Structure 1
Amino acid sequence: MSTHEALSDRPLFVLSPTHRDAMADRLSALGVPAMVARRREGLVRRFIMAGSNALLVDARDAVPDTLAALHDIGAIVRANGARIIVMNARGESGALADFVAAGFDIYLPGDCCDEELRACIAISTGGAGVADDGADDRRFLEQRRDHVTGLPGETAALALLHARLATSSATILLVEPTDLDRVNDQAGEEAGDELLRILAGLIDRFARDEWGPDALVTRLKGARFLLIAPAETSVEQVQAETQALVDSLGTPVMLAGTSWQVGCRTAVIAGAQGTQPSDLLRDAAQALGSEGIDGPAIIIGTAITKAEVRVVYQPQFAIEGGAMTGVEALARWDHPDLGPLGAAPLVTAARRAGVLPELTAHIHEIALADMTGWPKAMGHVRLSLNITAEDLARSGFSARFLNRLARWDAPCSRITVEITEDAMVRDIAQASAALAELKEAGVGIAIDDFGSGYAGLGYLRDLPVDYLKIDSDMTKDLVGSQRDQAVIHAVFELARSLGFETIAEGVETTEQLDLLKAESCTYYQGFLRSAAVASDQLAEFL
């Protein structure tokens, strides 16, 4: 048996900050299944989802970055029983001691030949000299990935918690839907599984939006979901954000032709370094539904007047060529007591106080002010601003919005407004009139999170839409079942037939990007290229 034949079916996970494309081509030529990443963001999450049993760190010309990455991911790699390969240039041997301290199993010179590289990978993945039918690989993935939701399963959850608690404290959020049994009994288990998939998508999107690519979401046994907050996140921060998640999960969903209102119970708890994962999960389970888990009172007016709201920007890139073509403005809340929070608690507080349009206007003012400071080289970059159903419901919204653009000397041709399909169809006539005024002035119109709502498609004919933003859950479905792929293919066909450009959200892997190219998607955004960054960092993507 040749070494090539002995390679594992599980993909090799590779971090290569400076030689990513060349490494991907080399591994492909060697017949090595691999997921090759360039950036550190979200490494733990992507490693778990890949189901890899080996990590190759390509440190050539990137020793500081890869050492930092090993610090981030090393514990979880070892907790999953995977091996670590470090590749580095011969002239950088001085870093060997640092990599020894960080921990690795095999060290490769950067100029190694193909046979050496392939043999090393075969040994590391357990493939060399082993002939089986791939059953071990399938069992590995089944143990670590929940087959209903696609999230990491309980085995992965325990491994993640073990790795985190070995070196630091951990704050977790446990979420349990309260209506799954009723759905299973009245609508059938297929509808129950669909509900779990919907909830998993909402929870996963919430975690990524609020905590970034390093947030981790897993499904435990039964119907419970575990969210592991990034390091240094306090219980109080998570509590403040939890209500926004509960509100999101409370949105009615369509199952088997019937609208269902789903409730949930939550618990937030922290474990000190050295705590056993099973003990932490037990304590969280006992706290589910208990009283006294409410976060502190939040006053939205103070956040605005005391400049606690800031705006970050997630770049959008052309599928063909990879150039940055636009950015989406996203709000963040620098809470004086709780520290940095995402947009969800801010928006939830503003909506409950009845001042969401005031918050939206404030965010727009910040973003337009930032835009005036962008360098001339960014003169082609579009700025996307989110608007809400509450904005469209107020008389004179479009006139006020256009006046705001004029005050900041912002060309309408470089502005896009984004609104979710659910918000758009609350009052289709009013939304259509307001958006038509913006469209006539030259502002682009984008349907945000397309595919996440349950509205009919007829409104697409009646509204002045330029872009469909493909929901991140649909982006995941690119690598899903044939049925999932058929649905998303139909969405792209619909967009093409209506003359819309498409923007895929939540792109995290090169495999997704390649499939988007095959669907002739126009643009994409996601952790594969960049999380949201400060305004002064955007020029780095030119």
Structure 2
Amino acid sequence: MSLQQLRLLGTPASESFDRITRTACLVFGLPYAAISLTDQDRQWFKSRVGIDPAWMARSEAPCSQVAEKTMSAVIADLAADDGFRDGELVRSGIRFYAGAPLVTRDGQGIGALCVLGPDPREATDAEMAALHDLAAMVMTQVELEHAFGRIDPISGLPNRAQFVADLLDLARSDPGGTRLAVLVDLADTAQLDNFARVMGYSHVDGMVKYAADLMRERLGPERAAYHVSATQFAFLAPVGTELDAYAQSVAAGLIESRALSQFRFIATTVIGLAPFRLGVCKTEDLLRGLHSAAKEARTGGAPVRIYSPAIDEMHRRRFQLLQDFDAAIADPSQLRLVFQPRVDLASRACIGAEALLRWTHPTLGNIGPAEFIPIVEHSTHARAMTAFVVDAAARQLASWRKAGIGVNLSLNISAANLQERDFAERMGQILSRHDVVPQELELEMTESAIMKDTGLALQQLNALAQLGVRLAIDDFGTGYSSLAYLQRLPMHVVKIDQSFIRGIAADSRERKLVGSMIALSRDLGLRVVAEGVETAETATILSDLACEEAQGYFFARPMEATAFAPWLALQAA
């Protein structure tokens, strides 16, 4: 097994090897020791104590002879040796040398563990036995770190564990130093799944090997690339690289590689860049930041993205909210419903309200629904969230009925709920538990939620309609519904999205569009509700256009349950 196979050349100094060289110094009572690796034309030190520079010419290195012969050597006085009396070691004041070979399992000598001293001397049998034991420890460490468990079997590159270890070693030699890390992400999940499904995983492995070979060629023997996940590779930019210029260079190189790649029609490779400080930034945080940058490149359609702390913080916050939502459902102090009145435009009487979910996080404070609901709706919490809202709404309806308050409630459900085969059945159970008449509840869903799987959605909607629950299309006009499907859906209400309502007072074309939407909905037998009404003028226009209901800040903002009953009484007075 050669140095190239072991991926040792050019790797940074390592504390695990430095411990061995320090021990060798103690055994011999000498100030100098080194683990030297012998390349074609030079001797390079993986670890050294008291020796400078980091390499020397092979012809002047006693360790090269030890490696070639795979035999230990002792030179009592280098100044008296014909081969080394005029060499760099003697000129540096070194007179004594003892070295033990570093030999691979297949018998190849790759270097030596040596000790050196300023004065001529002999080496005892005990000292040499200890040196041989320490050399064996070096090879064990080499195999542990650079051969077994540290090299990916597919790409032949050092893996993530080695990346972590090498960054730790770099941090010891250059604490606080600024470097630039690069992550190459070969393909997104969908591309890989399709590729593997059609061609098989062996072809995915072929793509990985191709990319690994290309990186070896581009980086050269002095710089290492690491295989940090199934189809992701990382490496460090040269020291002193300027970020923006390097980003442009990498982008140009990636575009060129894409054009030439045999996989260009199968996978879209992107790159993430992240500057970091050695010993300050944890490796897992660096890899996460690199992945975030690559993800931004992929979603944004760019070949390269530089890590953005702001975007990363946003994703971390979203992940925290997702993690914490489970506890929120079980904590009455965190989740609650507020209620925004719905008003009949002809009489201006409140005939119902929309129940809206609010979250007071124990450490982050109030979390807006626009932030947390989209996150939860696309997670496994969607079912539990809707169950919480329906249960709380049904409980509130029952409470208001006992108090003599007769209003209907509407609430939102997600696309995930319409994919649950027992959704209608569970809604019926909740209403029955609170003794609520199904007609008092209206479930709102977007056009997009219905169209995600129209067959299953239609099945659930029909079951809900048979139960007696009223159904509404929310944010009408913003989705991609088909009129053919709209006629088939058992809907009762259309809610026109506020983005259309806001401009009707100033824009005649917007007013005509809303008028057409209202007319179409009424022709289909649907009751029309306008969202986002903020002025008296808008309310009047909607009334003239035959819109039946509205909600918005002009009538009332969302309010707590304790405030809703007094507000309702005041409106009726």
Could you state the TM-score of these two structures normalised by the residue count of structure 1? 0.46
Of structures 1 and 2, the larger Rg is shown by 2
Could you state the TM-score of these two structures normalised by the residue count of structure 2? 0.43
